[in-house]
């Protein structure tokens, strides 16, 4: 039966690619990704428990609704202005480079204080192992976690994506770009979590693709080479598939097993949410958590749910449940359809903005690809709404802040083609 849904998702991928004439189109990426995930799950045989027909149908229904949202967005774009390319002045580019250098300076100055905060968090856990203590305290501990450094970690990611885009075709600032990207990965990896580093890695790949105007192999190859050590570091330090006292071969086999569970386990674990939704109480990741948190800032007294979900046997234990987890528990089948339709619409609008060369759209596209590529394990859109608002604010300050020069603004001009990789300046 799983083969039927794999085939249906492949057909949907072909249709999406045909409609947009590009695999960079978010519904094409999403449906292709999920076809690949289900295919890998099928090849895993009895490594995982079988999932129900209802779960498979929801996976297809979510992808189908996402695709319909993308089509709606394309229809809206076709009704409006087309064939426009954003032009950014040279003054704006200079301003962005200066802000990146300033941001890097802040990251370097703040780094010792960041390390001090990490040591404080680990010590508060009472555990002897530094990394396990840090992870435990930031996951299950009470009180303030990273505090202001959580915003600095996110800002480091935004800076890395921006620097990579700004200097994609330039050699003059490559060193600055590499330093910012390395600092961003260091800030993320020191949290003892993997999600942030994965979002950044896939975000960089997304920007490389959108700047090239197509899916290219070089970013994929570099991404794979970077992904394995990034995933392995946390797995070994936290004892999730490896440990510092094991041999290389033992760690390799353990990390690969952990990677298989992390990649495919969520698809199996979500089966429990479909079959036994009442086994999950209200303390787990409601979709609209952000709005409860904002209300509390203004005097409300909501008990905020945690981002930490219970473990489910697949038969290996895992606590990841795919993008659909909170949608389904909060709003059921109807909610999944409506939310996935809305995401397809909004993300396609970002895609259309990005391929016209809008720098803000390009960077948000990178963020979007990162969120889509971890949809097998986590929901990184509505439950991460604060992160998205920070990204929009960051890119708006860089590219839309009107106080650079009195005449500076984003402009649209007609062009005969869609030169995403052309640098056009208004002097």
Q: Judge contact between 354 and 416, C-beta under 8 A.
A: no
pLDDT at 140: 80
Domain spans, the chain: 2-414
pLDDT in tens, 149-182: 999 999 999 999 999 999 887 777 889 999 999 9
pLDDT at 78: 65
Alpha-helical regions (H) of 126-216 = 130-140, 148-166, 174-189, 195-212
Tokens, residue 58: 């929801």
Sorting pLDDT into bands at 50, 70 and 90, what band is 413?
Answer: very low
Q: Beta-carbon neighbour count of residue 7 at 10 Å?
A: 13
Residue 409 in this model has a pLDDT that exceeds 60: no
Residue 407 in this model has a pLDDT that exceeds 80: no
In order of 291, 366, 401, 411, the CA distances from 373 in angstroms are 25, 11, 31, 32
Say if residue 109 is exposed, middle or buried (CB neighbours under 10 Å; 0-12, 13-18, 19+): exposed
Of the listed ranges 47-51, 210-214, 292-296, 402-406, the least confidently predicted one is 402-406
Sorting pLDDT into bands at 50, 70 and 90, what band is 122?
Answer: very high
Determine the 3-state secondary structure of 404 from DSSP: coil
Any idea which residue has 């970077």 for tokens? Answer: 226
Tokens, residue 209: 């693709």
pLDDT in tens, 287-345: 888 888 888 888 888 877 777 788 899 998 888 899 999 999 999 999 999 999 999 99
Predicted TM-score (pTM) of the model is: 0.91
Sorting pLDDT into bands at 50, 70 and 90, what band is 79?
Answer: low
pLDDT at 249: 84
Q: Is the peptide bond before 342 cis (omega within 30 degrees of 0)?
A: no
pLDDT at 123: 92
Percent residues over pLDDT 90 in the chain: 58
C-alpha closest to that of 337 among 59, 62, 31, 28 = 62
pLDDT at 85: 64
């Amino acid at each position: 039966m799983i083969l039927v849904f794999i085939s249906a998702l492949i057909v949907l991928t072909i249709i999406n690619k045909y409609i947009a004439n590009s695999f960079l189109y978010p519904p094409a990426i999403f449906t292709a990704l999920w076809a690949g995930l289900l295919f890998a799950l099928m090849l895993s045989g009895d490594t995982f428990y079988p999932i129900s027909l209802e779960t498979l149908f929801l996976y297809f229904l979510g992808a189908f609704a996402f695709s319909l949202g993308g089509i709606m967005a394309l229809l809206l774009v076709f009704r409006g202005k087309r064939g426009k390319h954003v032009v950014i002045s040279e003054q704006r580019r200079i301003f962005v480079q200066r802000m990146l250098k300033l941001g890097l300076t802040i990251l370097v100055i703040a780094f010792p204080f960041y390390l001090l905060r990490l040591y404080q968090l680990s010590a508060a856990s009472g555990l002897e192992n530094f990394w396990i203590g840090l992870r435990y305290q930031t996951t299950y501990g009470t009180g303030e976690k990273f505090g202001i450094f959580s915003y600095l970690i996110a800002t480091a990611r935004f800076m890395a994506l921006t620097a990579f885009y700004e200097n994609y075709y330039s050699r003059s600032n490559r060193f600055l770009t590499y330093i910012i990207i390395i600092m961003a990965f260091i800030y993320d990896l020191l949290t003892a979590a993997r999600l942030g580093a994965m979002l950044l890695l896939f975000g960089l790949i997304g920007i490389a693709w959108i700047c090239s105007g197509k899916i290219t192999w070089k970013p994929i190859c570099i991404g794979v080479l970077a992904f394995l050590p990034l995933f392995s570091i946390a797995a070994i330090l936290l004892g999730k598939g490896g440990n510092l006292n094991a041999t290389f071969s033992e760690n390799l086999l353990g990390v690969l097993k952990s990677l298989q569970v992390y990649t495919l386990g969520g698809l199996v674990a979500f089966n429990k949410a479909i079959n036994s939704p009442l086994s999950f109480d209200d303390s787990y990741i409601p979709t609209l958590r952000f709005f409860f948190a904002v209300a509390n800032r203004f005097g409300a007294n909501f008990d905020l749910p945690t981002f930490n979900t219970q473990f489910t046997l697949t038969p290996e234990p895992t606590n990841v449940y795919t993008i659909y987890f909170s949608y389904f528990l909060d709003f059921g089948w109807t909610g999944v359809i409506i939310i996935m339709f809305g995401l397809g619409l909004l993300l396609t609008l970002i895609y259309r903005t990005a391929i016209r060369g809008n720098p803000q759209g390009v960077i948000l596209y990178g963020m979007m690809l990162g969120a889509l590529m971890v949809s097998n394990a986590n929901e990184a859109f509505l439950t991460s709404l604060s992160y998205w608002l920070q990204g929009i604010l960051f890119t708006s300050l860089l590219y839309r802040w009107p106080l650079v020069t009195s005449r500076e603004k984003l402009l649209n001009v007609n062009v005969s083609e869609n030169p995403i990789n052309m640098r056009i300046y208004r002097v």
